[in-house]
Amino acid sequence: MRTAFKCRAYPDAEQAAIFNRTFGCVRLVWNKTLAERQAAYRQRGENTSYKQTDAALTAWKKTGELAFLGEVSSVPLQQTLRHQHAAFAGFFAGRARYPRFKSRNGRQAAHYTRSAFRMTGGRLRLAKTGAPLAFAWSFDDIDLATLDPTMVVVSRDPDGRWYVTFAVDTDDPTPMPTAGHAIGVDLGIKDFAVTSDGEKIPNPRHLERKARNLARYQRRMARKQPGSNNRRKAKAKVAAAHRKVRNARADFLHRTSTRLVRHADTLAIEDLAVTNMVKNRRLARAISDCGWGEFRRQLQYKCQRAGRVLVVVDRWYPSSKTCSACGHLLAELSLATRAWTCPDCRTRHDRDHNAAQNILAAGPAVARQKPGEVCGADVRRQGPSLPQSATKQKTRSARSGTPSR
């Protein structure tokens, strides 16, 4: 299993210049390779292999105008070819979107494999740079002196901050002690999540405030003259605001996912088809801000690491409209209804808590599979009376564009 440790880096002026030049070369190699790949496909219907791109890179270094590619470490350039190859494989397999050209304004990164760095006594030296790279190690439980990374990534965010990431291969995951508990989680917009235990996890307020700040800075930047100094300053503020939103969201998602995984041996969540929902513009912002996709990714790898089971319940399962006490299925449940009483067994339900209990109940059939495995609970078309429009309320709200589920 691979774990990554990311921390702030503080290159000196000389190192920063070298890294910046390396980023430029990485970007050039990525973009030029992408352009040639596209041309080969468009003009001759040919697919390009990794080997061909590698040969092209070698040839470019021999030309007068691109000879400067030979001045930086060749490893990050090779790596970017590998990444592009993997990106296309992902695209053809339907897992990822079509690879895009890289902009000088985005995050910049250079990947160094073992042959291009040396790690001795906790000091990191990268190819073509003189002194060891200074960085702030913040993982107290990991002894830096014995760290043996397989890859090191140097990156620069659009706001100018530098980072270094150490990728480490670790042994098999250490299972967490058994919690003797299973929970279902209903993800929403009003509350970020509600569990079958009845716990409500609200969206953090500070995140909303930071998002509003970001929007304000973006409006301000739009009013400045392109190319002006004021525009440049406004842009730096936007980048910083972006970073704050990103960090706050990541922090919230990590805390929440870690806590849930620690709390239960089996977790059941709903497959929300986040990509489809984000296509709806009006809801997109609210959902992206919630970070459901990222949250599920975190649950997935954290469950795997801890030997827990994550059950993903089919999204057509009417978890909101089914009574968790007796199984009665309501014909209709409006979005505005936050609580309801079952006409059959008279149980009073909180909408989200009831949904979370149903999600949990849909899980156990597959929950006894091998720990660490992610499994899907196929409860599609369960029961005889599923109406054709049994799509979950959430999905319906995505269609009608009402952000208040």
Which residues of this chain interact with Zn ion, rule CB under 5 A? Answer: 323, 325-326, 328, 342, 344-345, 347
CA–CA dist 113, 75 (Å, integer): 7
Judged by beta carbon, residue 79 or residue 320, the one nearer Zn ion is: 320
Measured from the CB atom, the residue of 22 and 358 that comes closer to Zn ion is: 358
- Nearest approach, Cβ of residue 313 and Zn ion (Å): 20
Active site residue 186: yes
CB of 335 to Zn ion, least distance (A): 21
Minimum CB–partner distance for residue 324 and Zn ion (Å): 8
Instruction: Judge residue 167's burial from the number of C-beta atoms within 10 Å of its C-beta, 0-12 exposed, 13-18 middle, 19 or more buried.
Output: middle
Q: Minimum distance from CB of 318 to Zn ion (Å)? A: 14
Q: What's the rounded Cα separation, in Å, for the pair 378 and 399?
A: 24
| Burial of 177 per CB tally in 10 Å (0-12, 13-18, 19+) | exposed
Q: Which of 361, 337, 359 is nearest to 350 (CA)?
A: 337
Closest CB to Zn ion among 3 and 347? 347
Query: What is the nearest approach in angstroms of Zn ion to the Cβ of residue 330?
Result: 10
Min dist. Cβ of residue 378 to Zn ion (A): 24
Question: Which of 53, 324 has the CB closer to Zn ion?
Answer: 324
Closer of 131 and 345 to Zn ion (Cβ) = 345
Considering the complex, state which of residue 345 and residue 365 has its C-beta at the smaller distance from Zn ion. Answer: 345
Q: Retrieve residue 5's tokens.
A: 């440790």
The dihedral built from the CA positions of residue 269, 272, 274 and 277, taken in this order, carries a sign that is: negative
Neighbour order of strands in the sheet with 151-156 = 2-9, 162-169, 151-156, 108-113
Q: Catalytic pick from 141, 270, 294, 314?
A: 270
Residue that has been written with the tokens 């239960």 in this structure? 264
Residue 177 or 384: which CB sits closer to Zn ion? Answer: 384
- Which is catalytic among the residues 65, 350, 352, 378? 352
d(CA 187, CA 86): 32
Integer CA distances (angstroms), 381 to 53, 120, 267, 377, in order? 48, 59, 22, 12
What single-letter DSSP state applies at residue 45?
A: -
Is residue 355 within 8 Å of 186, Cβ to Cβ? yes
Residue 354: CB minimum distance to Zn ion, A: 10
CA dist., res. 272 & res. 253, Å (int) = 17
In order, the DSSP letters of 256-313 are HHHHHHHH-SEEEEE---HHHHHTSHHHHHHHHHHTHHHHHHHHHHHHHHHT-EEEEE
Q: Would you name the residues annotated as active-site residues?
A: 186, 270, 352
